Amino acid sequence: MDLYGALRPLIFRLDPETAHNLTFWMGARACAWPWLPKPALPASLRCQALGLSFPTPLGLAAGLDKGATLLPLWKSLGFGHVEVGTVTPRPQPGNPKPRIFRFPEAGLILNRMGFNSEGAEVVAARLRRRPAGLVVGGNLGKNKETPEADALNDYRAAYRLIAPQVDYIALNVSSPNTPGLRNLQAPEALKPLLAGMLDLRKEMGLERQPLLLKLAPDLAPEDLDAIVEVAVAAGISGLIATNTTLDRGVVQEPLRAFVESKGAGGLSGVPLKDKARQVRQRILAALAGRLPLVACGGLGSAADVQGALDDGAALAQVYSALIFEGPSLVGRIHQGLAEHPRSH
């Protein structure tokens, strides 16, 4: 029986953050079960990317498991990798509530969480107990009160704690919910940030660990091209595209007015799909195979994931679709990928 499907009407009657907390409470209980199932993944799904081996190209995007609390559950569901975070160096509560809104009729989520984080020290301690056989990434951000000019210090502080406990690191400079954060995507700000992080990676003896950059979907095409060149020249390991969008134009009327009435925040889910894919295709064209790209943003089916892989993405991540469809989504995507005639 699809337990999530049975509980979904109840869950969706609750405030979204209350529902999230309840679901995570139940998930934590499930993680303690000795009979937590082991996924049977087709061998055809195995793939290599970023110098790592993945049992499947499908992963869980950052933003859902911010504190690495449900890693055994994600492994049990069959995710090939999980990106935890965003983790900030120091604990912070995030933005005032309400700060997340669901629109089930459109498969849409609006969030302005604002990097609510337990802090890198707490998350790193939890990661030391992570389950074997699951690729885990750490998504890092700066604290809200940290000025842009001091952002590198925040990323370095979080990196020192999180990087030794994970398989790859992603730098989040693209969330719309931390003031000024997206300014770090500008080439003149990005160059010293990447250089500083790569220096620290070398200092810590982690040169073989992939370092990725997560980008916004709201950049102009020429800005995307410039960022790609900065990333390639810096020598980082890859890009993730995309984060949430500020563009309310992706939402059709009459829902758009209702979404706008909820205020600020980034949009994710089905309405982001086309915009995110256009951005990824632009990035992939500019990369011309020089760096791998992880697809994220609006993916919610096997066809979506396969389309991203066919476009040239090395891996794909889901998040919003999991909220609306539940854990069975993972198996459906894997079944669709396994039936596709190409190898992964």
C-beta separation of 210 from 237 below 8 A: yes
Task: Find all residues with CB under 8 Å of 178, minimum gap 6, and list them.
Answer: 114, 115, 141, 142, 144
Q: How far apart are CA 58 and CA 314, in angstroms?
A: 10
Q: How far apart are CA 152 and CA 197, in angstroms?
A: 8
Instruction: Write the single-letter amino acid at 137.
Output: G
Q: Indicate the pairing of strand 100-103 with strand 135-140.
A: unpaired
CA dihedral defined by 168, 173, 177, 182, rounded to 10 degrees? -170
Nearest to 170 by CA among 121, 145, 135: 135
Does residue 301 carry a catalytic annotation?
no
CA 261 to chain centre: 26
Q: How far is CA 262 from CA 12, 100, 105, 109, 120, in A?
A: 17, 9, 16, 11, 31
Catalytic residue among 76, 117, 175, 237: 175
Residues marked as catalytic:
175
